[in-house]
Every structure is written in C-alpha cells, then in structure tokens.
Amino acid sequence: MQVSSDEYEFRGGYEFEKIYEEELPEVRRGDVYACFDRGGESEWSEIPWRDSLVTGDGRVAGDVSASDDFYSVIQYGDVLEAVHREMGDQGVEPYGTVSLSGSAHRMEAPVYMSGDQARVEIGEGDRLNMGVKVSAGHSGHMGVHYNLGAERLVCRNGMTRFVSDLHLDQSHGERFQPGLAYEAVRGVLGSTDRVEERLERARKRELLNLDEARLLLHDIGVDRVAENSEADIMNALFEEVESRESPSLYEVYQAGTRVVDHYADSGSPGHFQETVRDNVARLLDVDGELPDSDELGRSVVENRLNYFVEEGEDAEPYFSAERETLRDLAERRGLA
C-alpha cells in the first residue's frame, strides 16, 4: 500500500521491533522501543507501557491502562494494513495519504481505490474514485471509524460522509477487529450505483442563485478555514458552478470541499478542517436523506435575518455586502 505523509512515518509494536531488531539485538519479541531525544542526543529506550502506540519519530500515544478490561490500544498500522488487504483481495489498487495530529493521538487516512469497479461518473468527464476514509485515535474516547470517501479526479477534491449510513466503527473496549475494515471496503465497492444516484439527484436540486450559495457556505463554517474567506469562497463557486442563477447542491458541495482542500489556511488545525468538511457533507446528507434545496436556502436566509434583528448594531456580517444581499434574497424568498 502506498501511504505517504509530508511529515510523519508511523510504526508501532511488532513493526517497530521487526524493523530495528538488527540495531537492537537485545530486543525480545513483544518489546516496544522508541528513539527518544535525550538532551539533544538520540537514545533508544524501551517503552514502559505494555500497550502503546509509537511513531517513527519517537512520540508515544496511547499510554493508557494495560488492563484489557479498560482499554485496548489499536495500532494505526494494523488498521491500514487491514484496509489494504481487503482492497487487494477485491482487485482494486489503493492509494492515499496519512496525517497525524501533533501529539500523534489522532490519525486520518483517506484511502481511495483506482479501477473501474470503484469509479463513479457524474456527468461527462466528472469522475470519482471511491474509497474509505479511516480515522483512529487515542484521545480517551475516539476509536476507529470507517466512512465512505471519494476523490473527485477533475480537481482532486476529497469527498466524505455524503452518504452517512455507509459508516462503521469500533471502540477501544475491544481488541482490533479487522473484519470491520473488510466490511467497510466491501460496503463502499457495493454502493457505487447508490452513490451515483445520490449525486445525480443533488445535481438537480438548485439554490436560488450564487448569492444564496455563498451565504450558505459561510453559514456552515467554510469561511473559518479559508485563508481569505470572501475571495476564496467566491473563487471556489466560480470554479464549480455552471449557472450563477441555479447552483446545484452538488456544485455548492464541491465548492465547499475545494476551499478545504485547496484554499485552507495552512495554520488551521487538521481536525478543524475535518469538522468543516463534515458540515459541508450535510449539503448532500441530512439523516440519511438528500436535503431539499428550497428549504435549505430559505432556512439560511431566515436565520441570518433573525441574527441581524437580534444583534442590531453589534451584528457581524459574513462578508462586506451581506446586508444588501440578504435584502434581495429575503424579497425573492418572500421573507421581506
């Protein structure tokens, strides 16, 4: 499996021992070692916890109770290996990236699949490679999560959680279950027709105009990750929306993911970007259903009108011309 990261390589448990046993001949099977920085010098030391997750640069996550009754540490490598194994068994080629939080207590890995059986085409030339978005962590409550994912090939946008019931997870209360990873891969591969049908319907559900789409993206928090929120959201909409008088939910969803994937502020934390991506996904999935675009547009206009009334002079607009935009939208929605 080709998994890469600009910053991190992760190893843990048996993998660590296997790789370094020649350098550490005294290592016994089952021991876990890491390279620690001791006053500016590197030193190999045994990890003092029975259950730990160790990264390639010597950080330790998952240093929790060693009792199986309380918590089971799940190695990130084991999770990705299970996903890779099932994809190989299904005859598709996996590719993707891995990212770790600064403390290594959280891992995110969108793993996509190349091959005809994993591909969906939405309109001419707009193709998606299906995949599995893997999340795992040791933050005290986060286990392992598998979500439907897809990569839009025309612009490398990452799509996740847009069919919410294609989701599996396990907690740390039990040992790692590779069968869930296998089931997730098979579930995604078996849902290509369903995904295509959902996205085709989203292309036919339209908002009032580009201004309403812009307001909606601000309202779900896309501006919070953008480096230049006003310009970036409008640029994304211009790139994705074919008709400014009838932007579809699918186009607005893609504009939101474009901001997260291509225009995000480099200083915004990865977990915050994932939260915004989940918000954007609600443009295509609310409680398992595709939302009604008229209800969605009307709701965001009405909510913003109420906000300006309640806050008065203290109200902070999303963008410089929002008040004028709202007046026009309210009139067209029959809310004026």
pLDDT digits (tens, 9 = 90+) for 37-57: 556 666 666 544 445 565 656
Q: Which pair of structure tokens corresponds to residue 83? A: 């996903």
pLDDT score, position 15: 35
* Residues in contact with 37: Cβ distance below 8 Å, sequence separation at least 6, in sequence order: 43, 58
pLDDT band at 136 (very low <50, low <70, confident <90, very high): confident
pLDDT of residue 74 exceeding 90: no
Task: Tell me the helices (H) and strands (E) count for the chain, helix number first.
Answer: 10, 13
Predicted pLDDT of residue 268: 74
The β-bridge relationship of strands 2-4 and 33-38 is unpaired
Number of other residues whose CB lies within 10 A of the CB of residue 68: 12
Distance CA 118, CA 89 (A): 14
Residue 28 has pLDDT above 80, yes or no: no
Return the structure tokens found at 229.
């929120």
- pLDDT of 125 > 60? The answer is yes
Residue 16 pLDDT greater than 60, yes or no: no
Q: Outline where DSSP puts E strands in 106-259.
A: 106-114, 119-121, 127-137, 144-152, 157-160, 167-170
- Is residue 192 very low, low, confident or very high in pLDDT (cuts 50, 70, 90)? very high
Higher pLDDT, 325 or 51: 325
- Choose from 153-162, 168-177, 195-204 the range with maximum mean pLDDT: 195-204
Cβ 158 vs Cβ 261: under 8 Å: yes
pLDDT, mean of residues 190-207: 95
CB burial string 217-235: b at 16+ within 10 A, e below: bbbbbbbbbbeebeebbbb
Distance (Å, whole) CA 315 – CA 318: 10
Residue 314's pLDDT is: 94
Per the rule left: phi > 0, alpha: psi between -120 and 50, beta: everything else, 288 is left
Instruction: Specify the pTM.
Output: 0.78
pLDDT at 45: 61
**Lowest-pLDDT range of 42-56, 83-97, 273-287:** 42-56
- Residue 127, pLDDT above cutoff 70: yes
Give the integer Cα–Cα distance in Å for 118 and 45.
44
Give the model's pLDDT for residue 216.
97
Average pLDDT over residues 95-103: 79
pLDDT band at 97 (very low <50, low <70, confident <90, very high): confident
Contact, 298 vs 333, CB < 8 A?
Answer: yes
Contact 30, 50 (CB under 8 A): no
The dihedral through the CA atoms of 310, 233, 197, 287 has a sign that is negative
pLDDT of residue 164: 83
DSSP assignment of 284-298: T-BTTBPPPHHHHHH
Handedness of CA 46, 47, 50, 55 (dihedral sign): negative
Cβ-based neighbours of 75, under 8 Å, separated by 6 or more: 12, 13, 15, 53, 176
Work out the mean pLDDT of the chain and round it to a whole number: 81
